[in-house]
Structure 1
Amino acid sequence: MSSTLTPRRADSIENPQLQQWKASLEESAIAHPPGVFSPAFIQETLALTRRLFIQLQRRPSTLVAGIVQPLMWLILFGALFQNVPQGLFGESQNYGQFLGAGIIVFTAFAGALNAGLPVMFDREFGFLNRLLVAPLASRFSIVVASALFIAAMSLVQTAAIVGLSAVLGAGLPNVGSLLLMGAIVLTLVLGVTALSLGLAFALPGHIELIAVIFVTNLPLLFASTALVPLSFMPGWLQFVASLNPLSYAIEPIRYLYLHPDWQFSSIVFQAPWGSVSMGLALGILVAFSLGALALIRPLISRRIA
């Protein structure tokens, strides 16, 4: 007589409560299939985003430094050029008013460029592997959570810079201008965050990622209209600055400070190849962000598959 026990199949369980639970799970899966925009995806994205905010709460110096540094730039650079003759920087009443838009955009750009560092550290410490083996509705929640966190940080920094600029005499844009300003910042942040996350999955370690960040930051700052108008630059640099996505975020924000009655057809600056309207600048920013997302999607799909 054999003493081997044959395990009972799961579908032969006679417990009515277990059968009811199993049926409810199947009905839930049919009604809300896993994937992007499903309730499970939203829940896990919010949970991963909350994790990043908990890390920020434990290290508040990161947020403090992210706010204090651009404010110091605004104060020191504004004081350095406060005696510049009026009209030298276009329609701006003073250099602080001219500089505010550049500080807003560059701060958001720098923060978004660092978005890949937490993911890179998760890779190196093994936490990312735990997420990849977890039963997630979609692993893209890892990417979306990082983007949401960086977007929230950028809005906080932008609010601080706008507030200090108003105190220093740059004025305060109206509500419609502020909303458009926020949309411009978020559009740029989306594209740069996508590129940073792509680098986090493509590069071998955080040393290489930090090197890319250091090499990229200052050249893109000086090859934009953040510090000086396009007309101050030599011809070749004007051409480079007109290809820089930062310029297409800086100039619309600068225009919003000076023109409360803006329109999408308003000309925000003169590029070497022609006039750039508000609508065209926004379109170029949107195209940049969509292009960045399309560029990194195959890479991230392979790495988190």
Structure 2
Amino acid sequence: MTSATPTADASRTDPAAQPSEPSAFAEISQETLALTRRLFVQLQRRPSTLVAGVLQPLIWLVLFGALFANAPAGLLPGGISYGRFLGAGVIVFTAFSAALNAGLPVMFDREFGFLNRLLVAPLRSRSSIVLASVLYITSLSLVQSLAIMATAVLLGYGWPGGAGLLLVLLTLLLLVFAVTGLSLGLAFALPGHIELIAVIFVANLPLLFASTALAPLTFMPAWLGWLAAVNPLTFAIEPIRAAYAGPFSLTSVVLEAPYGQLNIATCLAVLAALAAGLFLAIRPLLDRKLS
């Protein structure tokens, strides 16, 4: 009689017969997607965040575009209409505002105790908590920005071509990564959501007005021109404005700053450096709070 023992023993020792364990990358990806899905479920239950995030910049685009519709020809650089000039600023402001609010869900999780539950859960990496917030805010910002771009088309302000659309998306991604890193750092550094909301309100409009979103540098006094020339929003607005203007190259000059000329490649490099710098700056804080 043949014994089945050798076959059973072989199945225990043969690596091919053993069920393979998921890799660390697969587990972290699964955790990140699950936490991201949770944030979208919250958005589905309370869609007012998405509606308000689209409605406010739409009002800006429609009202400001109408307000300056009869501006003299040639008033703005390149002779473009004010609506098209404003469009790039509103697109960037929409993405910036959404990213600046990235820390609020994390802050509410802190206050309601859900973050503590996540910290004691058997997560492969607690970095998935941060990655989920980044994915959620990035997706939300792009949806809102695309809605603004579609409205701009309906208002006759144009649409960037294929290469222009890629430039717009790349610029927005870099800006969103940078501001999301800042907002997440504030969410772990500040004591509560009241303080975080106060910072958001204080930072929002001053950064908008101290940029080239609403007016070119030539319209500004010297001190405000310097502020606008170093404002991160300006480094995002001008490449997008160039994408709407027509054919461009990475070496195209998009801003005559007080300290020199800026081209598209320089603006993108500044945004990339800012995003990397902010995430590196908040890394010790995240490690301490999530440990």
Class of the TM-score when normalised by the shorter of the 2 chains: over 0.9
Partner residue, 1:145: 132
Partner residue, 1:195: 182
Structure 1, residues 5-36: CA drift from partner, whole Å, max 9, x if none?
A: xxxxxxxxxxx9xxx7xx99x9856x72x4xx
Structure 2 residue 220 is matched with structure 1 residue 236: no
Structure 2 residue 278 is matched with structure 1 residue 278: no
Partner residue, 1:269: 255
Distance 2:184 2:73 in 1: 42
Partner residue, 1:71: 58
Structure 1, residues 37-91: CA drift from partner, whole Å, max 9, x if none?
A: x100000000000000000110112211111111111000101111111221212
Following superposition, the deviation at residue 92 of structure 1 comes to 4.8
Give the counterpart of 1:301 among 270, 287, 290: 287
Using structure 2 for the length normalisation, give the TM-score: 0.92
Structure 2 residue 149 is matched with structure 1 residue 162: yes
Distance 2:277 2:74 in 1: 37
Following superposition, the deviation at residue 180 of structure 1 comes to 1.3
Partner residue, 1:9: none
Q: Which ranges of structure 2 fall in alignment gaps of 5 or more residues?
A: 1-7
Following superposition, the deviation at residue 157 of structure 1 comes to 1.0
Structure 2 residue 100 is matched with structure 1 residue 113: yes
Alpha carbons of 1:300 and 1:264: their partners in 2 closer, same or farther (altered >3 Å)? same
Distance 2:74 2:112 in 1: 53
Structure 1, residues 88-110: CA drift from partner, whole Å, max 9, x if none?
A: 12125311100000000011111
Q: Secondary structure at the match of 2:256?
A: strand
Give the counterpart of 1:172 among 143, 159, 163: 159
Distance 1:110 1:60 in 2: 16
RMSD: 1.8
Contact 1:242 1:272 in 2 (8 A): yes
Q: Secondary structure at the match of 2:274?
A: helix
Using structure 1 for the length normalisation, give the TM-score: 0.88
Number of equivalenced pairs: 279
Partner residue, 1:221: 208
Give the counterpart of 2:239 among 249, 252, 255: 252
Q: Secondary structure at the match of 1:246?
A: helix
Give the counterpart of 1:96 among 77, 80, 83: 83
Q: Which ranges of structure 1 fall in alignment gaps of 5 or more residues?
A: 1-15
Distance 1:254 1:210 in 2: 30
